[in-house]
Amino acid sequence: MRDSDKKWAFWALSAAFLVDFLGYAFIVPILPSWREQFALSNTEATALVSLWAVPLFFLGPKTGRLTDKLGAGKTILFSLICLSIAALLYLAAMEVEFIDGFIVLSIARLIHGASGAAILTAGFAAASDIWPTNFGEISGKLIAMATIGGLLGPVIGGVTYTLGPEYAFIGLSVITAAIIPLVYVTTKELGSGGEPAQGSVPLRVFIQNPVLFRIGLLVMMTTLATGALEAGVPLFLKDNLGLNSAWIGAVLLVMVVAQGAGGWIWGRLVDKNGPVKYMTFGWYLVTAAMLAAGYVAHTISDAVMAAYAIIVILGIFQFAISAAQVPMLPMVDTATSQVYGKGGAGLAFGAFGTAWAAGTIVGPMVIGPVFDYTNSWGITLGILAIPMFIGLQITLRNKELLAECYNAEMSKRFELE
């Protein structure tokens, strides 16, 4: 493939990832308003964040099979159309009277999640095929673009929702639809599909493989924490600082900027030096960050001062979580290729998406009930150090296995160039 074609493919993938996660994060600063409008509990409000990941959990391998068969380009194209429609359903949920608006919100979230799952799986599969020897750098950049979408989502969502719900959700639909022409003209470059080389591989095979199973556990630990924070932080800011949707979106900007910068930096370093050392560093730092956030929330009596301190701590957390998260993508890619050969990248990243979704579902469903039960943000934030510590222990105990798998496969790829 020509370099110019690769550039167009990269920007098409980047744009798709951006609008995918823009829509995912768009509703976050709106949650407190929906909680009041629909008389939701904290558990129900945070469940709306979890619902996005439910289709990814159940359909991850199936979207992978679809990507391998139809091609990443067609899969992403259809998914963007569905995302545009789902954005309008959010607005409909606030207007309908013949059915519970929360049910319509949930349906919209599920459609949004199913489409987002397909974009995530197809995008990483396409990147693996187009850039096999520097996938770490490309996947890091794609995560950075997704993070920018996650950055812009709360800001745009909060500000436009303050102006009026119609501005927010019609705007989201238009922004998403604007990417469709770019993906359409790069469909061929992104991949045309075909039968996977390894044939039918059930999900249990990925569970039985020692490297892929451990990576799946690590992915779940990271998304459990980030999913919990994405759902819980807006409620924390509302309770402690009394911020409206626009200001909540602006505060989340700090967290997401840090994660986006981390994704860009760590991806380049992984291709140069391997993934394991950065994963280890990331796990140490995120464990300490969550303990610090819990300690500050529990011990500082001035709610405003505690909130500002926690915002800084969570910015550090977001930067560090990228160091644990980004290296897992090239690890999934190399482990799958080493065990099953080439031809099933979609299936591999579909399985990866299932692990990603498991954490994203559990995280918000943990933080809401924990706060409802304890009424303490110190305990609610501090308890997230537990999955971070588990991730650290898994990495430390298996670092030789992970490094050997990655180095062996990358050596083969460089020999083939």
326: pLDDT strictly greater than 70: yes
Chain centroid offset of residue 291 CA? 23
Summary mean pLDDT of the chain: 79
- What token pair was written down for 366? 């943990």
**Average pLDDT rounded to a whole number, residues 60-76:** 73
Angle formed by the axes of helices 328-340 and 210-241, nearest 10°: 160
Rounded Cα gap, residues 380 and 367, in angstroms:
6
Reference 161, options 101, 98, 248; nearest CA is 248
Rounded Cα gap, residues 117 and 51, in angstroms:
12
Ramachandran angles phi, psi of 191, nearest 5°? 125, 135
Rounded Cα gap, residues 351 and 207, in angstroms:
9
Question: Do the beta carbons of residue 198 and residue 343 sit within 8 Å?
Answer: yes
Q: What is the pLDDT of residue 199?
A: 42
203: pLDDT strictly greater than 70: no
What domains appear along the chain, each with residue ranges and CATH number?
Answer: 3-192+203-416 (1.20.1250.20)
Contacts of 303-308 with C-beta under 8 Å, sequence gap 24+, read 303/240, 303/241, 304/240, 304/241, 306/240, 307/236, 307/237, 307/240, 307/241
**What are the residue ranges of helices labelled H in 274-384?**
276-299, 303-325, 328-340, 345-374, 377-382
pLDDT tens-place string over residues 3-21: 788 888 899 999 999 998 8
70: Cβ contacts below 8 Å, ≥ 6 apart: 193
Identify which of 111-115, 231-235, 337-341 has the greatest average pLDDT. Answer: 111-115
- H/E run at residue 271: helix 245-273
pLDDT tens-place string over residues 342-391: 545 555 666 667 777 777 778 877 887 888 888 888 888 888 899 899 99
**Average pLDDT rounded to a whole number, residues 121-143:** 79
pLDDT tens-place string over residues 241-273: 676 666 776 666 677 677 767 766 776 777 677
Angle formed by the axes of helices 303-325 and 245-273, nearest 10°: 30
Name the residue with tokens 């001035």. 302
Rounded Cα gap, residues 125 and 82, in angstroms:
20
pLDDT tens-place string over residues 145-183: 887 787 788 778 888 888 888 899 999 999 999 999 998
Residue 23's pLDDT band (boundaries 50, 70, 90)? confident
Q: What is the pLDDT of residue 237?
A: 74
Q: What is the pLDDT of residue 195?
A: 47
Q: What is the pLDDT of residue 201?
A: 47
pLDDT tens-place string over residues 379-399: 888 888 998 999 999 989 988
Q: What is the pLDDT of residue 174?
A: 94
- The answer to whether the predicted template modeling score (pTM) of the entire model surpasses 0.75 is no
**Average pLDDT rounded to a whole number, residues 121-131:** 82
Query: What type of residue is 404?
Result: E
**What are the residue ranges of helices labelled H in 96-179?**
101-130, 135-163, 165-177
CA-to-CA separations, 339 to 17, 116, 122, 134, 344, in angstroms, rounded? 28, 27, 20, 19, 11
Rounded Cα gap, residues 200 and 69, in angstroms:
12
**Average pLDDT rounded to a whole number, residues 393-415:** 78
Rounded Cα gap, residues 389 and 395, in angstroms:
10
Rounded Cα gap, residues 114 and 126, in angstroms:
18
- What token pair was written down for 387? 């999955």
